[in-house]
Structure 1
């Protein structure tokens, strides 16, 4: 089942191991299995795929936890491809360490070995998708020998923040899904392992169990998580990041680009786990050109293409996938010239350019919400894997029209209709004074595009546990006036509020990429956490609106757009 889900996700993302990069007259590929022994004696399964007889060529290396046949990029006959099954997964021995220090050390050792093998001409490249990208980001503080370039798609830059515990709220469904997808190939290949080394099966099972319990045992961002996140750049490797705005790990691509742009990184937002929008190839063409230029020295001009290329939706994810989108190119992220417009949550369900003159409060119950409506990053992954039949048959399930019944299951605030098109791209921040009846409850915010017919389409979400009100000093992104527009929360230790205590929370919503067309409206909704985050406690939340310190939403407006004018 895990491998089926992986295949569906890869196919949806346009990264399945198919011969799309090969030519009709190419020779039959040669596949060579070989075991590599690490410095601590653990054997890893590797598979080399070469077009025709094995010869010294530039070699693309991928470190995958998904077992046999999990290569995620088809390459031309100019390259060999080395798939390495991560320790404790697939047919590799040892214990899976949740992409921690042992797996990171293995990356370095395998690259050192591969660089000097007969199949390599000394030029290596890295490819990673999802987990195979995460282990590379986690390893970047090591010097990675012989690597000339890298392709990274839909991988987290910081595993805690980007995927498994965003906002200090356990993101259970993706975490459980990843473990299932890793565990299934390990079980399927268990027969080979039992014949070769029966004792290693206990290590594999123990590692998978320890990784799962490790996530639950570390709710705060502690040293265990620090070993499974970004720890600096010890390399000078040009990296191409590929992802999509609706992806379950989209924050990671933006943060990684910022960390590696000095090395010549490019960011292409054309889809990932969330599917490839029609009219694009999901960045596959850029990936091949990237390898050819930086590994083989081909003068194809890829280095002169825009550093940042964004495919923006036009109000609805389904329409975006069907081809209704617009491209926006830039030299950096956030896009230079972006301005953040502040919108106040106001009485009468209004989202306005000016706050109410007087203070008031509004309350809602944090009733668990349907993920199809409230958890667009996670649901986009499941839709790409086959769950689209549900929302396709019942489109209302994929909208936020009914996700909140004001003062009962949520609060809804909506702007007036826009008089002109407005393009938003960048991080979003919700600044909200809030009191909870239940310390440890979750703040959950949905940003949507409301069409003229009243249908409300989710674009991105923000999540924050009420146990984490603070920011890491100096790490948040601010606008020209000093307002925080991308909060960088401090999740190092829980600071639970007293019941009823009004505290200020700054909620990070993952970057939005959308053109709100004339006649459409912006909407922010505060609701209960998704059913995919079941450990967040139910509560009564009360927010402050109006006055100088009422709740605010800050949205990124691209150059050429004027949200304030469009709302006059």
Structure 2
């Protein structure tokens, strides 16, 4: 037990702190009767031969470090190729044994697996700039090189989790003819909105740890290399002077332009290039992953042009990377899914990959997986619930003169919550604290006010993005707003399902990029630019459309749906210093009257959309 926990913790430190269909508009996909099946075949080879020390030279002379795992006999002698190739490009140092940069399960079934340290990481030369333009150009050079090696048959698929999933999407956008399939596990979509500055606030729970991890792994000499000391020194000096430390400090302070969305973050957002992906793509996500927001958006964008599948499990980032708990409800383990995907699209075998369900999601509350034909759910309809002055959550709008409720503005609410576990990628969740599974501790009325329905008369099923429309005022100059959605069991336990945060002065919405359902905005798109900032002012009532990240859950009969509103969600969000001074001391009022009806709109689907228990 202790050994397993230690291994899981080590994997967390490496994978977790490291990062982020077939159906939809025009691509062929599976119908409503699609079913899961487990695809398996025996090993073709009993062994794996690891060949290290490979160098791939980029256009500017920088050398990337690479290694390849080849099918082998029982003594480790490489088999005669060529083979279809699986490519993984990583920032976590492929030479560290704990990092899953190569998949022996696939290699033993006849694939060569090439692992490459991206520029400025691991044993590769150069300076790291986190998915910048130069690094993205390298991805194209690497896949071209991979397609021409003696052990390669010219067909390349990409595989991996987190950082290694993000690199796949950029690689696919290059449209290299050798690239045939993508299997992206817990990838990021929008660098700004998904993870770094959700709601316009700095994510200090994940980003410093991630950049610190990439830096630390880039100075470990784990493989003999005569130029390794020079490379390690280059990595360290770049981190301290050029990228990691300057970006973190300037983001925290709110200077240098990093705290606003712009070209820097758009370059580092795969969703901006998703419409260029034309090869079959499998996306794995998690209901509480750090990239919870973006994974279904990637599916939606890519599925317009190619066969695409989406699997979302009950996972935070660490468990999502491994597909923890599978097989379950007919959904196979991730290795079986990857084998099916690559056998179909790299080997050209007719194994039925296109016929599996387009979208498979876990539902909290029902505690099971269910399938559908697309995302957003085709049967979803918008339903609005009003936050009432007496703490009720009601379908009835508030009356004239109905009172508001107040909450103190302080920056450290939620320090022990499901959100904290999520935004440290599941790492802190390994510590068995009750507050990671229950939100009751945070629902102190001074810091987080609650609005609850009556017990549900029947199961209430929600699937998709959620929007809170709040009318607030503050005695400060600005405010940060947290909205949590929870389920409340008959014994009173409040379990967080999803949440959203927003800086009030960054509330402006671009209607053209926002999502609507039944004529109601249900997923606001905020520009988060300096030009879009709108003053709040003291004691002035303003309307905040808060994006609450998409989820799928059932509020069971006898349970209650609850919405909580607070002024902070630390460490998920902390305003940059220039904003924090305007929010730090104050009292925020959530208004609930006929003229200022605060509410939440949710996408409801029929109970029949889920399998019968």
TM-score of the superposition, structure 1-length normalised? 0.88
Asked whether the 8 Å contact 2:87–2:114 carries over to 1, the reply is yes
Residue 75 (str. 1) matches residue 112 (str. 2): no
Q: Distance in 2 between matches of 1:4 and 1:377?
A: 15
Residue 258 in structure 1 maps to residue 284 in structure 2: no
> 1:107-130 CA deviation, whole Å, 9 max, x = no partner?
001111111111210100011311
Alpha-carbon distance between aligned partners in 1 of 2:44 and 2:356, rounded to the nearest angstrom: 29
**Counterpart in 1 of 2:34?**
none
Instruction: Work out the CA distance in 2 between the residues paired with 1:212 and 1:221.
Output: 19
Counterparts of 2:370 and 2:267, CA distance in 1: 35
Note if contact 1:154-1:252 (Cα within 8 Å) is conserved in structure 2: no
Q: Which residue of 1 aligns with 2:272?
A: 231
Structure 1, unaligned runs of 5 or more: 14-19, 315-323, 563-568
Q: Distance in 2 between matches of 1:345 and 1:188?
A: 53
> Deviation string for 1:436-491 (max 9, x for gaps)?
333453111111010000000001110111221111231111111x2110111111
Question: What CA deviation, in whole Å up to 9, does each residue of 1:168-196 have, x standing for no partner?
Answer: 11111110121122122112128856x41
Q: Secondary structure at the match of 2:562?
A: strand
- Distance of aligned partners of 1:326 and 1:402 in 2 relative to their CA distance in 1, 3 Å threshold: same
Give the alignment's Cα RMSD to 1 decimal: 2.7
Q: 1:49 to 1:496 in 2, by over 3 A?
A: farther
Distance 1:282 1:160, change over 3 A: farther
Corresponding position: 1:336 with 2:384:
no
User: Separation in 2 of the partners of 1:11 and 1:98?
Assistant: 16
**Using the alignment, how far apart are the partners of 1:328 and 1:418 within structure 2?**
21
Task: Give the one of 525, 536, 543 matched to 2:590.
Answer: 543
- C-alpha displacement of 1:131: 1.3
Q: In the alignment, what sits opposite 1:86?
A: 118
Q: Which runs of 5+ in 2 are unaligned?
A: 1-5, 18-39, 73-77
CA contact 2:120–2:127 (8 Å) conserved in 1 = yes
- Alignment of 1:292 with 2:343, yes or no, is yes
Q: What is aligned with 1:35?
A: 55
Q: Deviations over 1:241-290 (max 9, x none)?
A: 00111111111211100110021111011246152246535533222211
| 3-state secondary structure, aligned to 2:490 | coil
> How far apart are 1:362 and its partner, in Å?
1.9
The alignment covers a number of residue pairs equal to 538
Q: 2:176 maps to what in 1?
A: 144
What is the alpha-carbon distance in structure 2 between the residues aligned to residue 285 and residue 455 of structure 1? 37
Deviation at 1:363, TM superposition (A): 1.6
Kindly indicate whether residue 95 of structure 2 is the aligned counterpart of residue 62 of structure 1.
no
Q: CA deviation at 1:397?
A: 4.9
- By how many angstroms is 1:231 displaced? 2.5
Cα distance in 2 for partners of 1:308, 1:507 equals 26
Residue of structure 2 equivalent to 1:273: 317
Contact in 1 for aligned 2:421/2:428 (Cα 8 Å): no
Distance 1:387 1:353, change over 3 A: closer
Quote the Cα distance in structure 1 between the aligned partners of 2:42 and 2:239: 36
Q: Residues 103, 524 of structure 1: CA spacing in aligned structure 2 closer, same or farther, 3 A cutoff?
A: same
Match of 2:409 in 1: 366
Q: 4+ runs of 1 displaced by more than 6 Å?
A: 9-13
Give the superposition deviation at 1:557.
Answer: 1.1
C-alpha displacement of 1:498: 2.0
Partner of 1:255: helix, strand, or coil?
A: helix
Structure 2 counterpart SS, 1:363: strand
Sort the Cα spacing of 1:504 and 1:377 in 2 relative to 1 into closer, same or farther, 3 A.
Answer: farther
| Distance in 1 (alpha carbons) for counterparts of 2:535 and 2:232 | 42
119-128 or 180-189, which moves further after superposition?
A: 180-189
Q: Normalising to structure 2: TM-score of the pair?
A: 0.82
Aligned equivalent of 2:559: 520
Aligned mate of 2:246, from 203, 213, 218 = 213
Is contact 1:436–1:499 with CA below 8 Å preserved after alignment? yes
More deviation, 97-106/540-549 = 540-549
